């Protein structure tokens, strides 16, 4: 659906996107992760035509961004992190207004509004001023507006920020339903790693303007060590014997055990050592490449609060 070749974006001497090559599969949900200032917003801005690239090639749905930007915009929907509607208008008036801006009219406009209202479950709030809706309702309205013109490619930028758990779960289910039933290709940007792990088929991690990881979620998470034992505390001297076990690696308070012929014997040895040393286990789980652990390992765990977006 999307092909990026040697994409570069510079702001004066600052390189925001550095020679990115990326392919986003048609009909799947791709999760885009990265620290503050990593280049996520810049990348989405280029793809949606908001920001101009410095160099490289962008192809969306078989159309080249340089030669057919209007064609790309016609099949693209974007739901920004900032609420993008008029608070003094009712929910229905906003849907009607933005539908007309998309070029919809008559029976088709009514059908698309009905669809968006049904998907976002806005039936009970259509005649209320949008600015007086709850945070969750406003997020759902924001998403409904982005769906009005039946986009083939949908960009979601932090669509659940600031909403409660129930609203977040509802929206994730709604997004997955749109993907499955409408076959919409979705690029989903979020700081909630658990959301990405729950909803995405593919994952892209960007840092310092470069792609540091990309691929299918299931393969990436199952490609690492098979099992991790998380412990209460790490006693360097007591845990020293772990260094003599082939296929066992300790990182801070986590002990990773490779998936191989030694898995079970190594697990017994690890558990026996912990019991002998009086070190409590917090939990044991498979898929040691937990997305959060993988993300922090690739981007480092330093704070990025002060860095530019």
Interval 25-46 mean pLDDT: 92
* Structural domains in the chain plus CATH codes: 2-216 (3.40.50.300), 224-288 (3.30.70)
pLDDT cut 90: percent of the chain above it: 63
Q: Do 22 and 29 form a contact (C-beta atoms < 8 A)?
A: no
Listed as own residue / partner, the contacts of 273-279 with beta carbons closer than 8 Å and 24 or more positions apart are 273/238, 273/239, 273/241, 273/242, 274/229, 274/231, 277/235, 277/238, 277/239, 279/231, 279/232, 279/233, 279/235, 279/238, 279/239
Q: Do 244 and 259 form a contact (C-beta atoms < 8 A)?
A: no
DSSP β-bridge partners for residue 9:
17
DSSP β-bridge partners for residue 20:
7
The secondary structure of residue 124, as a DSSP letter, is G
DSSP β-bridge partners for residue 4:
22, 58
Q: Does residue 256 have a pLDDT over 70?
A: yes
**Which secondary-structure segment (H or E) carries 107?**
helix 106-120
Q: What is the pLDDT of residue 163?
A: 84
Interval 57-78 mean pLDDT: 94
Distance CA 264, CA 260 (A): 9
Q: Tell me the three state secondary structure of residue 61.
A: coil
pTM of the model: 0.77
Quickly state the pLDDT bin for 275 (edges 50, 70, 90): very high
Burial of 190 (0-12, 13-18, 19+ CB in 10 A): buried
- Reading the block at residue 5, the tokens are 């070749």
Burial of 24 (0-12, 13-18, 19+ CB in 10 A): buried
Q: Other C-beta atoms within 10 Å of 101: how many?
A: 11
């Amino acid at each position: 659906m999307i092909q990026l070749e040697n994409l570069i974006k510079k702001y004066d001497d600052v390189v925001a996107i550095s020679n990115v090559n990326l392919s986003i599969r048609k009909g799947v949900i791709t999760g885009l992760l990265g620290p503050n200032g990593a280049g996520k917003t810049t990348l989405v801005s280029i793809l949606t035509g908001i920001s101009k690239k410095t160099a490289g090639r962008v192809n969306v749905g078989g159309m080249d961004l340089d030669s057919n930007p209007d064609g790309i915009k016609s099949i693209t929907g974007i739901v920004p992190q900032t609420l993008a509607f008029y608070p003094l208008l009712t929910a229905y008036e906003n849907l009607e207004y933005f539908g007309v801006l998309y070029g919809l009219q008559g029976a088709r406009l009514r059908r698309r509004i009905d669809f968006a209202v049904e998907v976002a479950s806005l039936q009970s709030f259509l005649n209320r001023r949008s600015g007086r809706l709850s945070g969750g309702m406003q997020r759902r309205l924001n998403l409904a507006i982005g769906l009005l013109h039946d986009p083939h490619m949908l960009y979601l930028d932090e669509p659940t920020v600031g909403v409660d758990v129930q609203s977040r779960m509802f929206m994730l289910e709604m997004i997955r339903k749109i993907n499955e039933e409408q076959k919409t290709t979705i690029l989903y940007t979020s700081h909630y790693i658990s959301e990405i792990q729950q909803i995405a088929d593919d994952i892209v991690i960007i840092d310092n303007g470069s792609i540091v990881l990309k691929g299918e979620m299931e393969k990436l998470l199952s490609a690492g060590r098979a099992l991790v034992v998380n412990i209460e505390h790490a006693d360097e001297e007591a845990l020293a014997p772990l260094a003599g076990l082939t296929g066992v690696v300790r990182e801070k308070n986590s002990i990773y055990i490779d998936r191989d012929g030694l898995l079970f014997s190594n697990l017994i040895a690890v558990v026996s050592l912990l019991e002998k040393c009086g070190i409590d286990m917090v939990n044991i789980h498979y898929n040691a490449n937990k997305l959060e652990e993988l993300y922090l390992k690739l981007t480092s765990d330093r704070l990025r609060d002060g860095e530019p977006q």
